Amino acid sequence: MTSAYALCAIAVFAGMVSLTHPAWAQDGRTISIRIFDGKSAQPLVPSNLIVRIDHHDEIRNETLHIDSDGVGTVTVPDNAMVLSVQGTYDNGMELYFNCDAGMEKNAEAIHWYSIADILSTGVIAPNECYKGKYERNPRVPLKPGEFDFFVRKIGVRDELH
């Protein structure tokens, strides 16, 4: 009788885990994300990363982990085609300005990057914040599965627009 209770408890626990852990995370692919200051090209430790998949506004941070160096790892679904990443600072209260939109009229535009390219060669987002000063990340060569992007803090001029 005791073993029947143990088996029942294990079945209930397994069911609870499957409900709290999304199915897409189990058969996905892992991407490493690094965030750099657009002016100095120094690595930053964000409060959080906001990961979006396949042009959806829904934030997919269920599998996100950020280590003490600020490197994020996220598992994306096997069928996902593109991703977008933004970083936050001040305990997640402020959103960094992504430097890939630095020269655009709509500075809040979200840019999407091919997951296949990230996984096969790695991708470095362009740095348009400081007029070509650091167009390439100093961490060359980039490894497959790595996504690097440049940011800057929101300034007064940004808030006026």
Task: Report yes or no on 38 lying in a domain.
Answer: yes
Question: Which residues, at least 6 apart from 94, have a Cβ–Cβ distance to it below 8 Å?
Answer: 88, 153, 154
Task: Determine the pLDDT at residue 8.
Answer: 37
Greater pLDDT, 146 or 104: 146
Task: Report yes or no on 13 lying in a domain.
Answer: no
Task: Determine the pLDDT at residue 103.
Answer: 63
Greater pLDDT, 87 or 41: 87
Q: For 120-135, how does the pLDDT look when each residue is reduced to its tens digit (9 = 90+)? A: 999 999 888 876 555 5
DSSP state at residue 70: S
Task: Report yes or no on 109 lying in a domain.
Answer: yes
Task: Report yes or no on 146 lying in a domain.
Answer: yes
CB contact at 8 A, 92 and 59: no
Greater pLDDT, 155 or 46: 46
Task: Determine the pLDDT at residue 77.
Answer: 94
* CATH number (domain holding residue 101): 2.60.40
Q: Is the pLDDT of residue 86 over 60?
A: yes
> How far is C-alpha 140 from the geometric centre of its chain's CA atoms?
20
Task: Report yes or no on 77 lying in a domain.
Answer: yes
Task: Report yes or no on 10 lying in a domain.
Answer: no
Average pLDDT over residues 138-155: 83
Task: Report yes or no on 50 lying in a domain.
Answer: yes
DSSP state at residue 100: G
User: Which CA distances in Å does 98 have to 7, 72, 112?
Assistant: 51, 16, 12
Note down the domain range covering 79: 24-160
| pTM across the whole model | 0.75
Task: Report yes or no on 14 lying in a domain.
Answer: no
The count of domains in the chain is 1
